[in-house]
Amino acid sequence: MKDETIKVKDETIKHPSFGMIHYSRRHGSGQRVFGSPFDHHSLIAISICQADLRHDLGEDRYFGHSSPLIEVELSPAQFAEFLTNGNTCGVPCSINATQGKGIIPRYEGNTTESDRTHDDLVKSIESISDQITFDEKRLEGILSKPSIGKGDREEIKKIISSVQTQIRNSLPFYAKQLQESATRVVTEAKAEINAYVHDAVQNAGLKAIHERGDAAVALLESKFGDEGKPGL
């Protein structure tokens, strides 16, 4: 196997397998991410870039390249699911940029799963309505005959049976799907709210710790001075 390791000035080592992964929190005016039905004011960005190993002053240091190989964004709930649910098919995310394509425009569609399921239900009802209209004309043709024979009666039974089958199979199925999709949206909403509240509480706690830490340092300095000696 070809060794692609490159040494520069005997201090920096480069290799295609060297990489850095980074995540950060972003706040904005409300954006959609793939796989979530809501606008988000807080998102998690994850980027992966190639990196160099630099040995300097007796220690190894790692430096990521400025251009990421890929950058993605997730909602707080998606990020939590990503961290806690391993060995699955994955978690939806929005790809913001890749090294080959650069910045990728954000998808502008805003329909939700419930919207699409509702559209499926409407289309199913329209299809059944069209079929009933067609069968109605067939029935009118049969009933307009001077006499109705055995074959005509069998045809009428087939028409009625066909309409009943469509109504029994299609409408309950899509009604159930609509209810389940609405339940999933509510569940996702709760998860997003919990993730947002957890993030807000965590940030508030870190801020309080930082402020109290600064106050403690100031108190110690006032008592012992900068050099650790008792203050005057």
- Cross-strand partners of 48: 21, 70
DSSP string, 205-216: HHHHHHHHHHHH
pLDDT tops 50 at residue 231: no
Q: How confident is the model at residue 62 (pLDDT cuts 50, 70, 90)?
A: very high
pLDDT-derived band at 74 (thresholds 50, 70, 90) equals very high
The pLDDT > 70 percentage for the chain reads: 81
Q: Is 95 helix (H, G, I), strand (E, B) or coil?
A: strand
3-state class (DSSP) for residue 76:
helix
Of 228 and 97, the structure prediction assigns the larger pLDDT to 97
The average pLDDT across 1-26 equals 79
Question: pLDDT value at position 1?
Answer: 61
Return the exposure string of 147-176: e unless at least 16 CB atoms fall within 10 Å of the residue's CB, then b: eeeeeeeebbeebeeeeeeeeeebeeebee
- Report residue 223's pLDDT band, with 50, 70 and 90 as the boundaries: low
In the structure encoding, which two tokens stand for residue 228, read together?
């650790």
From 1-5, 51-55, 94-98, the region with the lowest mean pLDDT: 1-5
CA 42 to chain centre: 13
**What does the pLDDT average to over 109-129?**
77
Residue with tokens 């949206």: 185
Q: What is the dihedral of CA 49, 17, 84, 194, to 10 degrees?
A: 0
- For residue 40, which of 54, 53, 26 has the smallest C-alpha distance? 26
Does residue 5 sit in helix, strand or coil? Answer: coil
Of 3-7, 33-37, 99-103, 223-227, the range with the lowest mean pLDDT is: 223-227
CA distances to 105, 219, 229 from 232, in Å: 62, 13, 9
Q: What is the pLDDT of residues 155-187, one digit of tens each?
A: 888 888 888 887 777 777 877 877 787 777 777
Which of 8-22, 41-55, 77-91, 157-171 is predicted with the least confidence, judged by mean pLDDT? Answer: 157-171
What was the pLDDT predicted at 176? Answer: 80
pLDDT higher than threshold 90 for residue 18: yes
- Give me 58's structure tokens: 């007796």
Contact 185, 37 (CB under 8 A): yes
Tokens of 147: 């006499």
Report d(CA 145, CA 93) in Å as an integer.
63
* Residue ranges per structural domain of the chain: 6-103, 113-185
